A = this chain, B = another copy of it.
Amino acid sequence: MKRYEEVYKDIEKKILSGSFPAGSYLPSENELKEEFLVSRETIRKALNLLMNAGLIQKKQGKGSMVIERKLLNFPVSGLTSYKELQRQQGFTSKTKVVKLFKKKINALDAERTGFPLDSEVWYLLRERLIDGKSVVLDEDILLTSFIPNLTVEIAENSIYDYFENELGLEIAYAEKEITISSVNDEDKLYLALSTNDINVVSIKSRVYLSDSTLFQYTESRHRVDKFRFVDFARRNKI
């Protein structure tokens, strides 16, 4: 593991466990440099990552204060898979694969997904159930050229884990869009909607690999009463 990762992990652990409580200051960069026996730049790299993660706030002349995350506890933003979220947040849910087959991209799909016409893709539709009720409907469209095999078993677990750790794909970034959409037939069919639900929350994403190739399009449709998106944002100065 890289040195700055070790420093990051160590300090993160101490913050989360309460050894560095919210509102307190971390040791200075010079002290941390001595403690970890690395250069100051390495310490600074780790601290900047902690700052971006919303764990500390640095202030010139003062130090690095541990941030208190109040009401809005768990970050649900970023590029994190459903399984990872579940693990982080400690809730348990079940994933049910509704559809899984190969197809070729038609004109309509090309438009919304960004994949070229006639590309061969996996089409995957999954329900996410909490307390036995289906609250999220996940549609995934994935290039078969990157994912030769995809089974129901993999799709019931984390497809990201499979892509990254089995196939060695480097998932780099995503463009996401959240809108409110009218309930459609598929929503009615699979989501446990109440009779007066007329809207669902739609999250569309295009996911890219580290060489900037598009490899996944995904749309999640959420019951409005179960939807919550939490974000930590820093002010851009530049």
Contacts and interface: CB of A to CB of B under 8 A. Distances in A.
Nearest to A12: B238
A149 B71 CA distance: 29
B171 A211 contact: no
A67 B199 contact: no
Given A67-B173, A174-B233, A179-B228, 10 more contacts: A5-B238, A8-B238, A53-B236, A54-B173, A57-B211, A71-B175, A79-B234, A173-B234, A173-B235, A178-B229
Interface string A95-106: 000000000000
B234 A172 contact: yes
Contact-residue bracket for chain A: 35 or more
Contact of A210 (B57, B70, B198): B57
A57 B173 contact: yes
A231 B208 CA distance: 14
Nearest to A112: B71
A26 to B, nearest CB: 13
A201 interface: yes
A72 interface: yes
A116 interface: no
B171 A235 contact: yes
Q: How many copies does the complex hold?
A: 2
A185 interface: no
Contacts of A92: none
Contacts of A208: 57, 67
Q: Which of A65, A77, A173, A175 counts the most chain B CB atoms within 10 A?
A: A175
A196 interface: yes
Interface in A15-45: 23
Given A70-B114, A178-B178, A206-B70, A59 B229 contact: no
A175 B236 CA distance: 15
Given A62-B211, A114-B70, A232 B78 contact: no
